[in-house]
Amino acid sequence: METLIKKAGTLIEALPYIQRLNGKTVVIKYGGNAMISEELKNSVMEDITLLKYIGVNPVLVHGGGPDITKALKLYNIESKFINGLRVTDAQTMEVAQMVLVGKTNKEIVSLLNCKGGKAVGFCGIDGKLIECERYKTTVDGVETDIGYVGKIRNVNSRLLELVAKDEYIPVIAPVGVDMEGKSYNINADTVAGAVASALKAEKMILLTDVEGIKYSKDSDEVIPEITIKEAYELIDKGIITGGMIPKVLGCIEALEQGVSRTHIIDGRIPHCILLEIFTNKGIGTMIKN
């Protein structure tokens, strides 16, 4: 009986969050180990399906870097990275699009449908969902062309709103299109931020392979909440470093564009999405204005 009462208490704890999010849009970036482990895959898909059933409008943006690297090896194409971005020539782009759109996207759609959801797969080419231009990075102060890597110019929010506010779950592969119809590879965190901003989402959640933002380099304790100002201070102090910087900056940009709350959470924890947004304490770091 005590176990049953605890379960009831968990549901009651979730009630105000469910009420607050009813009818609202939540953008989720899905990547890292959560895409590799079968247990975690199922856990994430169950969380997303449950969100839809209780009246939330989830929009899923997925990565696929490891799958692309694996496919490139089969074609004897070397993977090169500059400033954390994949150098993408025409042949690499062809493989990336094949993997992201033809394989990874459809596997996620199929898994969501098996869980009882009604998922629909998209990439940026569909209905000009993600319009972009060629992105150039800076290396030692010199502007450098890294191929078919896209910088987002516009997101067709109308298309996503029609689908997400109906009974469907949009699943977006991070491939964009330019004015000439050419395809571009885009960082999935960047796509999630742009999509969340365009939809004025209530929340954006980034699933990562870290626990969240720590108080210091030596600390094991995760900061539950942090403001934009505090996040910049931690970057300046060198506490937020490496691959966490673009994720935090992406969260900040989304907040500045109208997203209410952003979250960086550990995707290695089963049912991490539900634990973060439907419990008082949460499991990751929430960044807010």
Q: Cite the annotated binding site by residue number.
A: 64-65, 86, 185
Secondary structure, 3-state, 205-225: EEEECCCCCECCCCCCCECCE
Structure tokens given for 30: 């899905």
In 167-193, which positions are buried (b, 16+ CB within 10 angstroms) versus exposed (e)? ebbbbbbbbbbbeeeebbbbbbbbbbb
**Separation between Cα atoms, residue 68 and residue 164, nearest integer Å:** 28
Helix axes 157-164, 188-199, angle to 10 degrees: 80
Q: Are 60 and 169 contacting, i.e. CB atoms less than 8 angstroms apart? A: yes
**Separation between Cα atoms, residue 268 and residue 171, nearest integer Å:** 20
Phi, psi of 159 (to 5 degrees): -60, -45
Which residue numbers belong to the known binding site for substrate?
64-65, 86, 185
